[in-house]
A and B are shown apart, each in its own frame.
Chain A
Amino acid sequence: DQQVKQNSPSLSVQEGRISILNCDYTNSMFDYFLWYKKYPAEGPTFLISISSIKDKNEDGRFTVFLNKSAKHLSLHIVPSQPGDSAVYFCAATGPSGAGSYQLTFGKGTKLSVIP
């Protein structure tokens, strides 16, 4: 039973354009969501997060949107750069205060930014 789903295994985007990566979740107890970027042979690198009390969080070129009613979040990268080419993982955790903060990951989306 996959609680965090990234339905697009791959995405190609032209340099300078917007990249939109999507993530759906099924567990309504999740209340904190994160995006990680991963290069081969390296560990996931934290990019941006959002709490369930917000619907948007922005950090430079990265914006995460959360739609709680749809159980959907997305990561927008604007403008996309060739160095953004990597596998992006959506992760979720919660409920906060319940005693476990393990991350539940999606299967990732491989983003290729074409120069």
Chain B
Amino acid sequence: GEEVAQTPKHLVRGEGQKAKLYCAPIKGHSYVFWYQQVLKNEFKFLISFQNENVFDETGMPKERFSAKCLPNSPCSLEIQATKLEDSAVYFCASSHWSNQPQHFGDGTRLSIL
């Protein structure tokens, strides 16, 4: 598609439950990026992919967080055993090549109760 599509828009989970977020990048884009916006205006990089391969995972918490980009499927970000501090808006972005502008989806708001 012409836009980065993120689902769901809003996800509510109880503390300790699993959360799974999805992202369909713009068709033809090879790079996918995940960012976490915890406080209103602070973006934190999590992980990036080049096609289905992890490109940079330096921002990913070592425990509980995992991500995949499989061929012919939306990319996913999964959080196991969620904590209150995981409450945030998670943005996905894609770009055609590595150092071109990243185009963002509208985010998934994750609320941990």
Contacts and interface: CB of A to CB of B under 8 A. Distances in A.
B19 to A, nearest CB: 19
Given A102-B33, A102-B48, A43 B107 contact: yes
B45 interface: yes
B99 A32 contact: yes
Contacts of B107: 42-43
Interface residues of B, number: 26
B22 interface: no
Interface of A: 32, 34, 36, 41-46, 49, 87, 89, 93, 96, 99-105, 107-108
Nearest to A106: B41
Contacts, number: 61
Interface in B62-113: 91, 93, 95, 98-99, 101-107
A79 B35 CA distance: 32
Contacts of B105: 43
B56 A93 contact: no
A105 B37 CA distance: 11
What 3 A-B pairs have minimum CB-CB distances, sorted nearest first? A43-B104, A102-B45, A105-B43
7 contacts: A32-B99, A43-B91, A43-B105, A100-B58, A101-B33, A101-B55, A102-B45
